[in-house]
């Protein structure tokens, strides 16, 4: 496997809610044939920083997606070919390079997710970082997530409150599932 690290407890103290391994995503069907999350080792180091910063605030990260094989990016693009929300697979997504993560926050004690004003994969302007449409408390929670992730060294995408990626993504190659060796896609 090419420089990818599995993101899972106990090494990573996160909750996994891997949307594309279920029918509960924008396509309405499973994209991954198994529930697993990977990031490039450089991104995994940044995620560890974010985990520590969240823990110091009594919070825990909920991870929805990490490395996304090019094949999976095509499945999403066929469902919603809108560059406002999805990277055109011909150009490549930071997810398909293993350097992007989709996530949220939950209370560490109760496991209750913080209200972010929309769900994950809400492909509407309400999902924008700067949207004032969600309730004020949800806007604060988004800013809290943004602050934690920025402090850990992540860049953000303005149109999705849940999406964070490393700076200079094109330094990293696009990875098809067969090259990555993750077995996320059906053979």
Q: What is the pTM of this model?
A: 0.96
**Per-residue pLDDT tens digits for 80-119:** 999 999 999 999 999 999 999 999 999 999 999 999 999 9
Pairing type for strands 163-165 and 4-6 reads: unpaired
User: Which three-class secondary structure state does DSSP give residue 1?
Assistant: coil
Write out the DSSP string of 102-148. Answer: EEEEEETTT-PBPP-SS-TT--SGGGSTT---S-HHHHHHHHHHHHH
**Per-residue pLDDT tens digits for 140-155:** 999 999 999 999 999 9
At residue 105, the pLDDT reads 98
At residue 1, the pLDDT reads 55
At residue 169, the pLDDT reads 92
Contact (Cβ atoms closer than 8 angstroms) between residue 148 and residue 162: no
At residue 122, the pLDDT reads 95
pLDDT along the chain (187 residues), means of 10: 90 97 94 97 98 98 98 95 93 96 98 97 95 98 98 97 96 94 91
45 is catalytic: no
At residue 164, the pLDDT reads 98
At residue 2, the pLDDT reads 73
At residue 187, the pLDDT reads 77
Catalytic, out of 6, 106, 109, 160: 160
Q: Which domains does the chain have, with CATH numbers?
A: 4-180 (3.30.1380.10)
**Closest to 178 in 3D by CA, of 167, 170, 186:** 186
């Amino acid at each position: 496997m090419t420089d990818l690290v599995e993101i899972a407890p106990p090494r990573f103290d996160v909750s996994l809610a891997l949307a594309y391994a279920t029918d509960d995503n924008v396509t309405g069907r499973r994209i991954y044939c198994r529930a697993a999350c990977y990031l490039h080792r450089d991104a995994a180091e940044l995620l560890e920083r974010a985990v520590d910063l969240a823990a110091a605030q009594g919070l825990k990260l909920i991870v929805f997606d990490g490395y996304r094989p090019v094949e999976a990016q095509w499945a999403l693009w066929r469902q919603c070919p809108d560059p406002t929300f999805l990277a055109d697979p011909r150009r490549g997504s930071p997810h398909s390079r293993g350097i992007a993560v989709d996530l949220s926050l939950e209370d560490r004690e109760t496991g209750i997710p913080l209200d972010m004003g929309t769900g994950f994969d809400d492909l509407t302007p309400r999902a924008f970082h700067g949207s004032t449409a969600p309730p004020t408390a949800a806007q604060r929670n988004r800013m809290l997530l943004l602050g934690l992730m920025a402090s850990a060294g992540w860049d953000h995408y303005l149109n999705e409150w849940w999406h964070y990626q490393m700076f200079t993504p094109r330094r990293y190659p696009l990875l098809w599932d067969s090259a990555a060796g993750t077995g996320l896609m059906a053979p």
